[in-house]
């Protein structure tokens, strides 16, 4: 008899739920949990210039105790050239102790592990003295507009209150048990624009070329050390990711040039402080007499945060140690996740599978890790609802 978590993961992976397509994946999850007392509400969120997204809120309650929620996404990135895959990306093929398929690591395996652990907990102990819920979206790999953020608002309007949350992203860099994420650096994008005077290439004295001016500023800002990190966070880094002029002609000096950048920042910085820093670099290194400069900051992508809920962290750390024998590191590394939305409602930590192959050709997970992750979540549920 196959372990339920393996079967569920395969069933989820076989749904080609590339953002924004649901592809039947929510039905698979609902069917797995519905027979043990979990109720499901399916909600479609819409917004202008974005695809409609179907989300699922799955919940069971057995008393007035704490409400633990699990945040997860069942959408996946495109598979790329499928001929490069050893096994078809949505076949969920098992070979050599590994389960192959798009989304196995990021993060259908994590969703399946928590769902299986929650069902096992209810089957063995009955409904918890409190509530277990799953916030499941199909918009994490996409714009993240019609997913978790709106689902949290919807739940709040219904009167739901969350006491703690787990996000099942693949947090472990090398082996299961390496790390629990207890925070994330912030992410801020922006564009630096330099405006000069357009002119003929043969008469540069009649123009003011913004391209070398911008290139010099990019080099200056890129060379600046922003900080050396803090107690809980790695150093802030600012990376320019494109320089754009939009000039198809060979004989025109353009009027303006722009450079797009992204900053991953720690708790020493805010959006306003980053803007001020760039303005200071322009004042020092820019030719403010001949050029105009504009800094266009995008709406906040993700603010820096740190979870300090010691009981929650300790309960997960103990569960990880019991199952794997490893004491996990408390980490704030990596990119962004839907934890950036959940943090505004309750303390949140992240723990999931090994993420070495996420988004890659031949994405896969170790079967042993999947089974152990379900065991960790089950142990955590026992710790959490017995405390």
- The catalytic residue positions are 75, 140
Cα–Cα distance measured from residue 149 to residue 113, given in angstroms and rounded to the nearest whole number: 23
Task: Please report the beta strands in the chain, taking only residues with DSSP state E, as ranges in sequence order.
Answer: 39-47, 50-61, 67-73, 94-95, 98-100, 131-137, 164-167, 179-181, 183-184, 186-195, 199-200, 237-244, 252-253, 256-265, 292-297, 305-306, 329-331, 348-350, 364-366
Longest dimension (CA), the chain: 82
CA 127, CA 36: separation in Å to the nearest integer?
A: 9
Q: Which residue has the tokens 């708790």?
A: 267
Q: Calculate ∠ Cα 35-378-40, nearest 5°.
A: 35
């Amino acid at each position: 008899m196959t372990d339920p978590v393996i079967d569920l993961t395969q069933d989820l992976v076989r749904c080609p739920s590339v953002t924004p397509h649901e592809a039947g994946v929510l039905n698979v999850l609902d069917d797995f949990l519905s027979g043990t007392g979990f109720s499901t509400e399916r909600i479609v969120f819409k917004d202008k210039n974005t695809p409609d997204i179907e989300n699922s809120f799955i919940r069971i309650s057995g008393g007035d105790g704490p409400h633990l929620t699990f945040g997860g996404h069942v959408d996946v990135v495109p598979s790329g050239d499928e001929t490069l895959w050893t096994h078809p990306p949505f076949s969920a093929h098992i070979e050599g102790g590994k389960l192959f398929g798009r989304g196995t690591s990021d993060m259908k395996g994590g969703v399946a592990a928590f769902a299986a652990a929650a069902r096992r907990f209810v089957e063995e102990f009955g409904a918890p003295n409190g509530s277990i819920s799953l916030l499941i979206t199909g918009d994490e790999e996409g714009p993240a507009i019609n997913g978790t953020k709106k689902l949290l608002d919807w739940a709040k309007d219904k009167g739901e209150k969350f006491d703690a949350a787990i996000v099942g992203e693949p947090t472990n860099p090398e082996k299961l048990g390496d790390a629990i994420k207890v925070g994330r650096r912030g992410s801020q994008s922006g564009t630096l624009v330099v405006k000069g005077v357009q002119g003929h290439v043969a008469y540069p004295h009649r123009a003011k070329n913004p391209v070398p001016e911008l290139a010099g500023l990019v080099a200056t800002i890129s060379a600046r050390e922003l900080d050396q990190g803090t107690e809980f966070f790695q150093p802030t880094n600012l990376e320019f990711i494109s320089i754009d002029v939009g000039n198809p002609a060979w004989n025109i000096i353009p009027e303006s040039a722009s450079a797009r950048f992204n900053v991953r920042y720690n708790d020493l910085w805010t959006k306003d402080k980053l803007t001020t820093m760039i303005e200071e670099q322009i004042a020092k290194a820019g030719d403010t007499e001949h050029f105009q400069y504009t800094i266009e900051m995008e709406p906040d992508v993700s603010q820096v945060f740190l979870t300090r809920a010691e009981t929650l962290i300790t309960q997960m750390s103990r569960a990880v140690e019991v199952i794997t024998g490893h004491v996990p590191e408390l980490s704030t590394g990596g990119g962004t996740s839907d934890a950036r939305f959940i943090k505004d409602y309750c303390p949140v930590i992240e723990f999931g599978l090994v993420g070495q192959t996420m988004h890659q050709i031949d994405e896969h997970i170790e079967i042993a890790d999947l089974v152990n992750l379900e065991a960790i979540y089950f142990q955590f549920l026992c710790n959490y609802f017995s405390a």
